[in-house]
Chains A and B, each alone.
Chain A
Amino acid sequence: MNLNATLFAQLVVFFILAWFTMKFVWPPIMKALDERAAKIADGLAAADKAKSDLQLAERRATDELRKARETSNELRAGAERQGAQILEEARAEAARIVAAARTAAEGEAEVAAQRAREALRDQVAALAVAGAEKILRKEIDAARHADLLTQLKAEL
């Protein structure tokens, strides 16, 4: 419990150590701590930003998907409509062609029948005239009774 010069030596050592710490220990550690704090703050901010970016991207993706689905639906509806229309047109065209063909065939048949009928009529008239000639031989003059014959031919 004696007081002596150790006291002053300790006092001086105290200041030297404190100075050394101030010069070489404190600043680098504080710098590292501050830098780390800044890094952590940056990291947290980046994480927040990434999260919001992700949400935005998800929302955009959903939008795009919905839009694509709508477009494809539209396209399919359009295609179906167009297909139906083409089918309808083709059907109408076919019906028209069939009808035309039938009309032409009927016309031709009519003409042929008419012609056959004319020929038949001529032949019947000639036959009738020949028959009558044979019967009446002398009494009937073909030239004189031409009117009568023509009338008869029209009635057949």
Chain B
Amino acid sequence: MATEHAPTASEYIVHHLTFLTNHKQEGLVDWSVFHLDSLFFSVGLGLLAVFVMARIAARATSGVPGRLQAAIEIIVEMVSDQAKGIVHSPESRQFVAPLALTVFVWIFLMNAMDLLPVDLLPMIAGAMGIHYLRVVPSADLNATLGMSSAVLLLCLYYSVKIKGFGHWIHELFTAPFGAHPLLWPINFAMQLIEFVAKTVSHGMRLFGNMYAGELIFMLIALMGAAWAGTFGSGLLWLGGVIAGTIWAIFHILIITLQAFIFMMLTLVYIGQAHESH
């Protein structure tokens, strides 16, 4: 954005979809690159979430709770009920239920960054000399796939832990079609596809929703930016206000729902790892 003129629409959007990185990404996959903005916001929001909750938890009273404590308790109880219904091992739940709580609150907060005006934080950062900034970590495929990969690792861990390594390997080759040796490769291929599909769809679902939501906020912001003193541009500006309001209200539902879906799928996948075929 070294150019002097105001950015065109496509320049504006491309600029807003560019991550702040440690160095330029070469190719589709480059394991030496970090998205500093995604990491900053996801770690920051994660720490905010767990420290606020830990603070409330440390002061938690079994008497009459304060409002914040009651709010946290509502979420905790919701997560706890879901975990009880899906993961049937109380021992696993000791880790899985808090994990689900973390996932829900954390992803909700990351999604909620979408509700901030799209230019607010990038402009502040720009004033401080940072010229690229994406504020919604859950609209970063790396972040969502990172979390779904973590769920995959947990699924593998619990599969081995609950079923035993031998039984798990046996199941990899004999389920879902049967134990005939000719079916082993097919079974194994199906299992691999299942794992990959679960993980990718888990991460992609959240990413897709948040990315699309972010993009629509940018388009609406472009409508608002069309203001140029003419009647037509005024109408466009008004349309931007109305559309922005409607989309933001609708987005409250989406960010909550996506956080909930991600949490539920986490529980479901880990729950499935506990069940033998």
Point out residues on A near B: beta carbons under 8 Å.
Answer: 1-11, 13-15, 17-18, 20-22, 24-36, 39
Distance in Å: Cβ of B151 to nearest Cβ of chain A: 9
Q: Select the stretch in B92-100, B112-120, B160-168, B215-223 that faces chain A.
A: B92-100
Report the separation of the CA atoms of residues A15 and B153 in the bound assembly, to the nearest whole angstrom: 10
Interface of A is mostly: helix
The residues in B between 13 and 51 inclusive whose CB is less than 8 angstroms from any CB of A are 21, 25, 27-35, 38-39, 42-43, 46-47, 49-50
Q: Given A4-B142, A10-B142, A13-B42, do A32 and B62 touch, yes or no (CB 8 Å)?
A: yes
A interface footprint on B117-131 (CB within 8 Å = 1, 0 otherwise): 000000000000000
Pair B33/A5 contact, Cβ less than 8 Å: yes
Contact partner of A18 (CB less than 8 A), chosen from B31, B54, B98, is B98
Report the separation of the CA atoms of residues A14 and B47 in the bound assembly, to the nearest whole angstrom: 11
Question: Is B61 positioned at the interface, with any CB of A under 8 Å from its CB?
Answer: yes
Distance in Å: Cβ of A44 to nearest Cβ of chain B: 15
Pair B149/A11 contact, Cβ less than 8 Å: yes
Question: Is B150 positioned at the interface, with any CB of A under 8 Å from its CB?
Answer: yes
- How many A-B pairs fall under 8 Å by CB? 147
Pair A3/B29 contact, Cβ less than 8 Å: yes
Q: List, in ascending order, chain B residues with CB within 8 A of A17's CB.
A: 46-47, 49-50, 102, 106
Q: List, in ascending order, chain B residues with CB within 8 A of A26's CB.
A: 57, 76, 97-98, 101
Pair B146/A3 contact, Cβ less than 8 Å: no
Pair A21/B62 contact, Cβ less than 8 Å: no
Pair B30/A2 contact, Cβ less than 8 Å: yes
Q: List, in ascending order, chain B residues with CB within 8 A of A28's CB.
A: 57-58, 60
Pair B77/A11 contact, Cβ less than 8 Å: no
Pair A29/B76 contact, Cβ less than 8 Å: yes
Question: Is B63 positioned at the interface, with any CB of A under 8 Å from its CB?
Answer: yes
Pair B149/A13 contact, Cβ less than 8 Å: no
Closest to B106 in A: A17
Q: Given A32-B61, A36-B62, do A10 and B143 touch, yes or no (CB 8 Å)?
A: yes
Q: List, in ascending order, chain B residues with CB within 8 A of A13's CB.
A: 39, 42-43, 46, 146
Q: Is the interface on chain B under 10, 10 to 19, 20 to 34, or 35 or more residues?
A: 35 or more
Q: List, in ascending order, chain A residues with CB within 8 A of B35's CB.
A: 4, 6
Report the separation of the CA atoms of residues A25 and B33 in the bound assembly, to the nearest whole angstrom: 33
Pair B80/A30 contact, Cβ less than 8 Å: yes
Q: Give 3 closest A-B pairs by Cβ, nearest first.
A: A10-B146, A35-B62, A6-B142
Residue picked from A29, A30, A35, most chain B C-beta under 10 Å? A29
Distance in Å: Cβ of A6 to nearest Cβ of chain B: 4
Q: List, in ascending order, chain A residues with CB within 8 A of B25's CB.
A: 2, 4
Question: Is B72 positioned at the interface, with any CB of A under 8 Å from its CB?
Answer: yes
List 6 interface pairs A-B (beta carbons < 8 Å), by A numbering: A10-B150, A20-B50, A22-B99, A24-B50, A25-B50, A36-B63
Report the separation of the CA atoms of residues A39 and B63 in the bound assembly, to the nearest whole angstrom: 8
Q: Given A13-B46, A29-B76, A36-B63, do A18 and B102 touch, yes or no (CB 8 Å)?
A: yes
Distance in Å: Cβ of B96 to nearest Cβ of chain A: 9
Distance in Å: Cβ of A2 to nearest Cβ of chain B: 5
Q: List, in ascending order, chain B residues with CB within 8 A of A6's CB.
A: 33-35, 38-39, 140, 142-143, 146
Distance in Å: Cβ of B59 to nearest Cβ of chain A: 9
Q: List, in ascending order, chain B residues with CB within 8 A of A32's CB.
A: 57, 60-62, 65, 69, 73
Q: List, in ascending order, chain B residues with CB within 8 A of A21's CB.
A: 50, 53-54, 98-99, 101-102
